Copies of this chain bind each other. A is one copy, B any other.
Amino acid sequence: MIVVMKYDATAKQIGGVIKRIEELGFKPHMSTGEKKTIVGMVGNGKKVDPDLFMALDGVDAVVPVLKPFKLASREFKSEPTIIDVNGFQIGGKQIAVMAGPCSVESLEQTMEAAVRVAKAGARFLRGGAFKPRSSPYAFQGLGEEGLKIMAKCREETGLSLVTEIMSPQHVDLLCKYTDIIQIGVRNMQNYSLLEAVGKTTIPVLLKRGLMSTIEEWLMSAEYILANGNPNVILCERGIRTFEKYTRNTLDIAAVSLVKNLSHLPVVVDPSHATGIRDLVGPMSRVGIAAGADGLIIEVHPEPDKALSDGAQSLYPDQFDDLMLSLNGIAEAMGRTI
């Protein structure tokens, strides 16, 4: 950490910073320019909260030198993490394709989606049983009944399951039914929830918050890792910006960047990132070109009757075409689909 003093900082204020550094068990390292004094902390490798220095008188800025995440970093673990789900290696050579409806609405609807996406080559069924909806008046999901439907689809199709959790009280219930637990965008910094799933070993798909920085996203992964669960899959699904033509803005550079910063696998969600059916195909190709390890795509047997997210759900025939179109890009990237 580097502490930059204000241009008119007094000797007493500089002394205060030095004292605090020593109290924390670090060595201060002064550097006095013509205009400003800078005090570095020469350290013991421990992380220190920058706020502890920003609060001191005469301090202009505090610059962290070490990244705040550790277990999630490539510096900590240089080889990529591969997560085995029922024999499929997420983070391996093959792109993990997760597909299915936004909400589990009925056995028929979910089974039809499952059969079709399995046939087209997907290996995971996505579907929501507990649905976070911005309106209390909108469809809230079927709850445990929805989980049972998903389990039947797994039996029938062999697809592994991905579904969202909304409350720490549901961890046991979800572990009973699903193969991967999804932490949704609104709960990325719900620390009670992160701790609860961190105390299991079930793979966790951690969606990036709508307005969360890359660093905050990795810090939320760190919460899960630090609680003992090493099986974290990151998911980029678009951030909120001023642009309103698309539902969100896919931060595709974040995918390539996080593959460098972290050893964790990264999945792209082209459906939520854009909210527009016609962009799901292009953004799937883009995801693979960026180096993503997987895709999570909304597919509904009848999007025009979907209870949620119909406008961004693919028709099963469109999903068939999409899967075929991905082969070339995957191959160019040294991957398979």
Contacts and interface: CB of A to CB of B under 8 A. Distances in A.
Contacts of A282: 253, 256, 289-291
Interface stretch (A89-97, A153-161, A208-216): A208-216
A31 B36 contact: no
A136 B222 contact: yes
Contacts of A136: 219, 222-223, 226-227
B54 A311 contact: yes
A45 interface: yes
Contact of A167 (B56, B168, B274): B168
A93 to B, nearest CB: 16
B249 A251 contact: yes
A242 B68 contact: no
Contacts of A2: 2, 4, 38, 63
Interface string A101-128: 0000000000000000000000000000
Interface stretch (A79-87, A144-152, A173-181, A327-335): A327-335
B219 A311 contact: no
Interface in A47-103: 47, 49, 51-52, 54-57, 61, 63, 65-66, 68, 75
A6 to B, nearest CB: 10
A113 to B, nearest CB: 15
A310 B222 contact: no
Nearest to A247: B253
A290 to B, nearest CB: 5
Contact of A245 (B137, B215, B313): B215
A65 B31 CA distance: 12
Interface in A217-259: 219-220, 222-223, 226-227, 239-246, 249-254, 256-257
A160 to B, nearest CB: 25
Contacts of A331: 328, 332
Nearest to A259: B282
Contact of A329 (B38, B134, B332): B332
Contact of A289 (B54, B286, B305, B309): B286
A117 B2 CA distance: 34
Contacts of A68: 134-135
Contacts of A313: 55
B304 A279 contact: no
B283 A189 contact: no
27 contacts: A2-B38, A4-B65, A16-B304, A31-B42, A35-B65, A36-B66, A49-B307, A55-B309, A55-B310, A55-B313, A132-B189, A136-B222, A136-B226, A167-B192, A169-B192, A186-B189, A187-B190, A213-B242, A239-B249, A240-B242, A241-B251, A246-B257, A253-B279, A256-B286, A257-B279, A285-B333, A289-B289
Interface of A: 2, 4, 7, 16, 20, 29, 31-36, 38, 40-45, 47, 49, 51-52, 54-57, 61, 63, 65-66, 68, 75, 132-139, 166-169, 186-187, 189-192, 209-216, 219-220, 222-223, 226-227, 239-246, 249-254, 256-257, 260, 273-274, 276, 278-279, 282-283, 285-286, 288-291, 303-311, 313, 328-329, 331-333
